Structure 1
Amino acid sequence: MLLKTFRWAFAVTALGLVAGVLYDGWTALGLVAILAVLEVSLSFDNAVINAGILKKLNAFWQRIFLTVGILIAVFGMRLLFPIVIVAVSARLSPSRAVHLALTDKDRYQELVTDAHPSIAAFGGMFLLMIFLDFVFEDRDVKWLSWLERPLARLGRVDMLSVCLALIILLVSSMTFAAHAHQHGGGHADKAQTVLVSGIAGLITYLVVSGLSDFFESRLADEESTKSDGAGRPAVALAGRAAFFTFLYLEVLDASFSFDGVIGAFAITNDIVLMALGLGIGAMYVRSLTVYLVRQGTLDDYVYLEHGAHYAIGALALILLVSIRYQINDIVTGLIGVTLISASFYSSVRRNRAARE
């Protein structure tokens, strides 16, 4: 099962490492390997969250997620996204941005760094909404019950997560963005950029998540009439419900990839090596997602999703803080791993107590 699920990840690893050596010698092999490890360490919580969503889809859309989805993740987010960001923020043509990435890597890195506040605001708000909607929902299974019970009661207030997210964005734009260093432009411009980008992230979440929930709910209503007496849906998500859920997964993956793409510049500013290393890591994250679904890991270890969502909340706040302060990727990775490990340990203890 393990080998079958990860066989494509192993194949991509071999091809990616060989491509790195052919492109820039044996030094490139080490850089590609380090970038792959960086991506996996930063995105493990992404795999857990994705698995919770992916298990709702039928087999066809799960295959789409691992094939078409990985192409979007590797070429779209790890290769084209930094180029598009540079082209838009520096008002360059895409061809000029590509030329800059290949010929003037220091200037290219500088432009990506200048675009970081808008990237962080967009991704931070999208991830923050995922976290807030999770903790404000009243769930049967609670991990940190002393915290989750009062939050669930607060969640009865309509639009509370949106209001809180907007307050956090406003504070971020008035503090972190207002004092962030930038190459040209005023503090007011930077604060405005952060506000606009953050609102765009919030709107993206509301639209994509809302459409996904709408079609999922409608499909559930249709299938409940065809199901057995228990009222369980007869099939997994398909059609438009599956499409918008897949779209939601892709936007979610994009939001998770922001910190990895920015953090990769601490290792290399060569866009080809970045795409190879982060692409390999993304493939492992996708394979891990499928593995968690097929093994039923989230059903066996019920607190894993809680830990992953708390890691998402931490990552969202880190992205917003990083508008002004540089946060080491090791810190980001350790926070996520610690929260997920703690939730896994709590799940093991819960299962052991249930057997006794």
Structure 2
Amino acid sequence: MIFRTFGWSFLFTALGVAGALWYGGTEGIVLALILIVLEISLSFDNAVVNAKVLERMSDFWQKIFLTVGILIAVFGMRLVFPFVVVALAASLSPVEVIDLALEKGDPDTPGTYGYYLADAHHTIAAFGGMFLLMIFLNFLFEEKDITWLSWIEKPLEKAGKIDALSIIVAVATLFIAAKTLGSEHEASVLTAGLAGLLTYLVVNGLAEAFGPDEEELEHLGEDASGNVMKVVGKAAFFLFLYLEVLDASFSFDGVIGAFAVTTDPIIIAIGLGVGAFYVRSITIYLVHQGTLSDYRYLDHGAHWAIGALAALLIVSIGYHVPEVITGLIGVAFIGAAFFMSIRANKREAAESVKELAG
């Protein structure tokens, strides 16, 4: 099971290490390994949320997620995306951007590849922060069968009865952030943030419009064995798009944070690309093992981690947020949810034993 799920990740780790050795020697291997760990730690919460969506998709679309999806994630977000950002920010041609990237200039030096990418951080953070914030807010305001942090989740569920409350909170947050944290780039922060909000509404709206609702999935969509039917066709396609945009939003902090490790775009692409394979493998492992159903609070922990990451991205519009904080906060929420799930399972099992004994 482990090798079947993580086989491609292991293979590309070997290829990535070999490529890093050929390109950058021993130092290249060390930097690539650090970036792999960075990507996995920053995106573990991404894997948990991906699994929640992926378990609703058919085997065919799960394979598409692992093949076409990984190409988008590795080559699109980890390699092409930074070049596009620099090209737009610096008004340079693709050839000029590639030449600039291969010069490996210091990100603190004006005119370098890393400098241009860092200079565009406020727009990247506004877009990704708003997309992730909408995911978190919609989770908080929806009614749930199980609550984790009940003291805050239950009151927010009641508040969620107000129409479009998540949009209201998100837009208010964006305007406050643009006026305070991004005052020097207010227009671009507002534009990027609204684009992130619109992207979420369009992709998520299409996925919901063409897919069955939760009640249909749980009751009307069961096969003869009692298993929940998987969505296919247009519904699965839009869920796939949703997953790709979600992955893109999660990868922003990894791409930007990688420049704290090295300014070499090739080593960054190798490290983050291999890390993306592991995120995909972890997602599939969680689906096949039924981990989300076994550990009831894991999905909650992942969404709280998303909320924390959204907040950190928005704060980073005006202030530098150390990458270690970004990485550890997600792991902390998921770890806490995991251990509290174990406690809840043990308590439930003990109560069942008492009832049988009585």
TM-score bracket for the superposition, by shorter chain length? over 0.9
- Is residue 114 of structure 2 the alignment partner of residue 119 of structure 1? no
**Structure-2 residue corresponding to 1:154:** 159
**Structure-2 residue corresponding to 1:7:** 7
Deviations 1:299-318 (A, max 9, x none): 00010010000000000010
Structure 1 contact 220–233 (Cα < 8 Å) conserved: no
Deviation at 1:329, TM superposition (A): 0.8
**Structure-2 residue corresponding to 1:184:** none
> Please, which runs of 5 or more residues in structure 2 have no aligned partner?
107-111, 351-358
Change (3 A) 1:228 1:77: closer
CA distance in 2, matches of 1:222, 1:303: 20
CA distance in 2, matches of 1:22, 1:228: 52
Deviations 1:44-78 (A, max 9, x none): 00000000000000001101111111111010000
- Is residue 180 of structure 2 the alignment partner of residue 175 of structure 1? yes
Deviation at 1:103, TM superposition (A): 2.6
> Please, which runs of 5 or more residues in structure 1 have no aligned partner?
179-186
Aligned length: 345
Describe the SS at the equivalent of 1:143: coil
What's the % identity of the aligned pairs?
A: 55
Deviation at 1:217, TM superposition (A): 2.5
Describe the SS at the equivalent of 2:182: coil
Change (3 A) 1:87 1:353: same
CA distance in 2, matches of 1:327, 1:158: 34
- Is residue 334 of structure 2 the alignment partner of residue 329 of structure 1? no
Deviation at 1:275, TM superposition (A): 0.3
How does 1:142-291 map onto structure 2 within 5 Å?
Answer: 142-178=147-183, 187=184, 190-217=185-212, 235-291=229-285
Describe the SS at the equivalent of 2:102: helix
Deviation at 1:235, TM superposition (A): 3.1
Q: Output the TM-score relative to the length of structure 2.
A: 0.93
**Structure-2 residue corresponding to 1:134:** 139
Describe the SS at the equivalent of 2:212: helix
Partner AA of 1:101 in structure 2: A
CA distance in 1, matches of 2:163, 2:27: 54
**Structure-1 residue corresponding to 2:303:** 309
User: How large is the Cα RMSD of the aligned pairs?
Assistant: 1.9
**Structure-1 residue corresponding to 2:353:** none
Structure 2 contact 286–292 (Cα < 8 Å) conserved: yes
Change (3 A) 1:234 1:134: closer
CA distance in 2, matches of 1:48, 1:160: 25
Deviation at 1:228, TM superposition (A): 6.4
Q: Output the TM-score relative to the length of structure 1.
A: 0.93
**Structure-1 residue corresponding to 2:31:** 31
* Greater Cα offset, 210-219 or 3-12: 210-219
Deviation at 1:104, TM superposition (A): 5.3
Describe the SS at the equivalent of 1:141: coil
Deviations 1:260-298 (A, max 9, x none): 000000011110000000011110010000000000000
Deviation at 1:225, TM superposition (A): 6.9
